[in-house]
Amino acid sequence: MIASESAARAFTASLCDGVAMERLEKLAALLVEENARQNLIARASVDSMWQRHIADSAQLLGYVSRETIAPWLDLGTGAGFPGLVIAAMRPAWKVHLVESRKRRIEWLEAARDALGLVNCMVEGERLEQVPTFAAGVISARAFAPMPRLLELAERFSTKETIWLLPKGRSATQDLQSLGKNQRSLFHVEHSVTDSEAGIIIGGPVQQQVRPEARQAAS
């Protein structure tokens, strides 16, 4: 379990190269600066940004092959978690960040440009207005209750799509909100950054969860 900022940095570094870590350091600095102008993250979490936000996002890569080529769709990206972190760590991947709030959109576009993430697309509108495409991964950290989330995002999903939904300490409860048939398609994994938090996972990965993230955190 990751219990410090130094451990969070080391964990994140184990999942990417040095150039990506430089991008993440720059992202963290930009976020601190912007957070003084708008409340992107809770001020109480600024001093634990790597543990609470960056490593918390980076752990999702432990469930996705590096050979993934289909786009990553991040719903309700907000300050950029997990989508902007994923784009910074895997700049060759196409990552779509869906966010409808104007100031958040401006932040995401500025951060993307500052980090040189040419394959990162900011979808500055509600998900209902985003053109349909087949997503390789669908993530959402704090987007909508599970039934509504699946209803809105279903058109982007194929039988190969991996769902990665960090739900904090309500993960099990959120999963139980689904009907039996839908619930059987997902399961909960423990977060490496909070022993009481969970990630709702669905798709092919549920048959063989990749162990890298948990090994790096131990």
Q: What is the pLDDT of residues 99-154, one digit of tens each?
A: 999 999 999 999 999 999 999 999 999 999 999 999 999 999 989 899 999 999 99
User: How many CA atoms lie within 13 Å of 102's alpha carbon, on the beta-carbon side?
Assistant: 0
Query: Rounded to whole angstroms, what are the CA distances from 214 to 61, 128, 157, 169?
Result: 11, 35, 26, 18
Query: Rounded to whole angstroms, what are the CA distances from 62 to 28, 172, 179?
Result: 21, 20, 28
Q: What are the tens digits of pLDDT across the range 35-83?
A: 999 999 999 899 999 999 999 999 999 999 888 778 999 999 999 999 9
Q: What's the pLDDT score for residue 205?
A: 60
Quick check: 209 pLDDT over 60? no
Q: What's the pLDDT score for residue 68?
A: 76
Using pLDDT thresholds of 50, 70 and 90, give the confidence band for residue 206.
Answer: very low
2 DSSP 8-state letter: -
Q: In the chain, what are the domains? A: 5-217 (3.40.50.150)
Q: What is the mean pLDDT of the chain?
A: 92
